Amino acid sequence: MASDKRNIRRHRKRLQIKFGVDEAGRFGFTEDISDTGIFIKSAVVQNPNSVLKLELTSPGGEVIHLVGRVMWAKKVPPNLLRRLKGGMGVRILRFTSGEPLYRSLLSELQERT
């Protein structure tokens, strides 16, 4: 198995996320989050380079709105999603609201590790 060459610290965190190209209408969950991106676990994936609207629900129920670009995607049948890593890696392009809340969440996760 290839080693992970990324230098960005990722934090395992399961949060509800809505996503889509024109509107955030599809549902998924985060598997990990970082300063620069999010891994979304979902049986529905968008093509690499697609720009997505994202609505991330924080543990407190507040919604963080952001825009991201799909860097990679792996489609997995829904019945295998629990056993295989299916979903997409999304690079954060910008926040439309809630950036301080997202940064605070990352800080809390960093303190726990």
Cβ-count burial 18-35 (b if 16+ within 10 Å, e if not): bbbeeebebebebbbbbe
SS3 assignment, position 109 = helix
Structure tokens at 21: 């190209």
Q: What is the pLDDT of residue 45?
A: 93
Closest C-alpha among 1, 68, 2, 62 to residue 33: 68
Which domains, from first to last, does the chain contain?
11-112 (2.40.10.220)
Query: Full-prediction pTM beyond 0.75?
Result: yes
* pLDDT tens digit sequence for 15-59: 999 999 999 999 999 999 999 999 999 988 999 999 999 999 999
